[in-house]
C-alpha cells in the first residue's frame, strides 16, 4: 500500500514538474526557435536568445517575457529586446502551420545606423510550406532613428510579401512638425520606391541634423507635399510643393545663389542692395515647386514675396535634381 502510494506521489510530482516545465518555463521555446528560424528564415542566423519567463493562458495563448537576443542577417548583427511577446492561437499555428499571430509590447531593435525604440507591434504572418507567403501588421514606436534621420511618435500599418512592402496610414512627428503618407518598396521584378508624403510645421533649424551645411542657410517653417517614384535608382516622378507662409530668412550666400538664377536684373540688384545692408534676406512669404523632367533634370519654380522693401519674384529654372537630392538628403 505504501509502495503504491509512493509511486502515485512520484508520478504526480513528475507530471506536475512536466506541466510546469512545458507551460511555465521557456526551455521548449528556446530549443524550438533555432529550428523554426532555419525553416522559415534560412538567411538569418540566431546568435543568442534569452527568455526570462513564460506563461500559457487558456485556451490558446503563449506569453513570453523579458526577451533579449541577437540575429545576424547579411553580415550585420541586430540586437533586440522585448518586454512581452504573445503568440496568439499558438496551438492552431503548431497544428495547421497556415498562419502565425504575434502581439509584441516594448520592442527595442537596433543595428549600426538604425534604432527602433519602445515599440508595440501586432503582426499576422501567412505561411506557405517552409516559407511565409505574406504579412500584415501595425506598429507604434516612441522613436525611430535611421542615420541621419530621426522621427518620433510613429504609427503605421504595413503589409507585404517577399517582393514588396507597403507602409500606409503613416503618421509621425518629425523636426518640429507632422508627417503623414504612404510608402511602397518593391524588390522584384525591379527595385522601386513610391513615396507620397504630406508635411506641416517642419522647422529648418531641426533639420540641420540631416545636413547642417544646407539647412543652416535659411530659417523657416515648411508645409507641403512630396511625391517620388524611383525605379532601379532612377527618378521617374518627382513632385515637391513647399510653402513657407510665415516667411523665411535666407543667408546672404543662399540668397545670392537664388538671385543668380533670376532673369530680372533690376530685382537681382535689389536683392544685392538688401544683402549689403543686413547680410541676409527676410521674406514675408516663399513658395517652391519642383517637377521632374527626366531622371536627372527637374524644373524648379520659386515665388518670393516681401512687403518692405516691396519685392515679388517668380522664376522657373532647370536643375540637376539627382545630384542635388544626393547632396541634401544623404549628407549629415
Q: What is the mean pLDDT of each run of 10 residues along the chain (332 residues)?
A: 40 35 58 78 86 82 91 88 89 77 93 93 86 90 93 95 92 97 90 94 94 91 93 86 93 88 85 86 91 81 85 85 65 44
Q: Is residue 28 within a helix (H) or strand (E), and if so which, with residue range? A: helix 27-40
The residue count for the chain: 332
What's the rounded Cα separation, in Å, for the pair 197 and 265?
A: 36
> What is the dihedral angle through the alpha carbons of 208, 214, 217, 219, rounded to the nearest 10 degrees?
-40
State pTM to two decimals. 0.82
All 3 cell numbers of residue 316? 522657373
Give percent helix, percent strand, percent coil of the chain, each to the nearest 5: 25, 55, 20
Measure the CA–CA gap between 311 and 303, rounded to whole angstroms: 10
Residue closest to 323 by CA, chosen among 305, 291, 298, 290: 298
44, 72 Cβ separation under 8 angstroms: yes
Residue appearing with cell numbers 547680410: 279
- The whole-number pLDDT of residue 296 equals 76
Which pLDDT belongs to residue 201? 96
Q: What is the distance between the alpha carbons of residues 105 and 101, in angstroms, rounded to a whole number?
A: 14
Question: Whole-angstrom Cα distance, residue 36 to residue 320?
Answer: 49
CB atoms within 10 A of CB 123: 16
Q: How far apart are CA 105 and CA 65, in angstroms?
A: 10
Cell of 157: 500599418
Give the pLDDT score at 198. 97
In 302-331, which positions are buried (b, 16+ CB within 10 angstroms) versus exposed (e)? Answer: bebebeeeebebebeeeeebbeebeeeeee
CA dist., res. 231 & res. 96, Å (int):
39
- What residues form DSSP beta bridges with 49? 69
Enumerate residues 6+ apart whose C-beta is below 8 A from 86: 61, 62, 63, 64, 102, 103, 104
| Residue 249 in grid coordinates | 530668412
Nearest to 311 by CA among 278, 270, 254, 263: 270
Q: Residues 30, 48: contact at Cβ < 8 Å?
A: no
Three-state DSSP state, 12: helix
Give the pLDDT score at 175: 96
CB atoms within 10 A of CB 32: 12
DSSP state at residue 97: -
Amino acid at each position: 500500500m505504501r509502495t503504491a502510494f509512493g509511486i502515485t506521489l512520484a508520478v504526480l510530482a513528475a507530471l506536475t514538474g512536466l506541466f510546469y516545465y512545458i507551460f511555465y518555463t521557456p526551455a521548449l521555446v528556446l530549443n524550438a526557435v533555432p529550428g523554426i528560424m532555419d525553416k522559415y528564415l534560412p538567411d538569418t542566423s540566431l546568435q543568442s536568445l534569452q527568455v526570462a519567463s513564460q506563461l500559457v493562458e487558456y485556451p490558446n495563448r503563449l506569453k513570453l517575457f523579458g526577451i533579449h537576443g541577437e540575429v545576424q542577417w547579411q553580415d550585420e548583427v541586430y540586437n533586440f529586446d522585448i518586454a512581452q511577446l504573445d503568440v496568439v492561437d499558438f496551438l492552431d499555428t503548431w497544428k495547421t502551420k497556415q498562419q502565425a499571430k504575434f502581439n509584441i509590447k516594448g520592442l527595442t531593435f537596433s543595428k549600426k545606423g538604425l534604432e527602433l525604440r519602445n515599440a508595440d507591434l501586432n503582426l499576422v504572418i501567412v505561411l506557405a510550406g517552409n516559407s511565409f507567403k505574406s504579412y500584415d501588421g501595425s506598429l507604434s514606436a516612441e522613436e525611430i532613428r535611421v542615420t541621419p534621420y530621426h522621427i518620433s511618435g510613429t504609427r503605421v500599418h504595413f503589409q507585404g510579401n517577399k517582393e514588396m512592402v507597403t507602409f500606409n496610414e503613416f503618421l509621425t512627428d518629425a523636426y518640429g512638425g507632422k508627417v503623414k503618407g504612404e510608402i511602397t518598396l518593391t524588390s522584384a521584378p525591379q527595385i522601386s520606391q513610391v513615396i507620397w508624403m504630406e508635411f506641416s510645421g517642419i522647422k529648418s533649424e531641426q533639420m540641420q541634423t540631416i545636413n547642417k551645411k544646407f539647412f543652416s542657410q535659411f530659417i523657416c517653417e515648411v508645409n507641403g507635399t512630396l511625391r517620388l517614384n524611383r525605379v532601379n535608382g532612377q527618378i521617374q516622378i518627382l513632385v515637391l510643393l513647399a510653402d513657407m507662409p510665415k516667411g523665411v530668412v535666407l543667408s546672404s550666400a543662399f540668397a545670392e545663389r537664388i538671385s543668380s538664377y533670376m532673369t530680372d536684373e533690376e530685382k537681382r540688384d535689389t536683392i544685392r542692395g538688401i544683402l549689403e545692408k543686413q547680410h541676409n534676406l527676410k521674406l514675408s512669404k516663399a513658395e517652391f515647386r519642383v517637377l521632374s523632367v527626366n531622371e536627372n533634370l527637374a524644373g524648379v519654380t520659386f515665388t518670393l514675396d516681401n512687403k518692405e522693401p516691396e519685392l515679388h519674384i517668380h522664376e522657373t529654372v532647370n536643375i540637376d535634381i539627382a545630384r542635388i537630392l544626393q547632396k541634401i538628403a544623404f549628407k549629415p
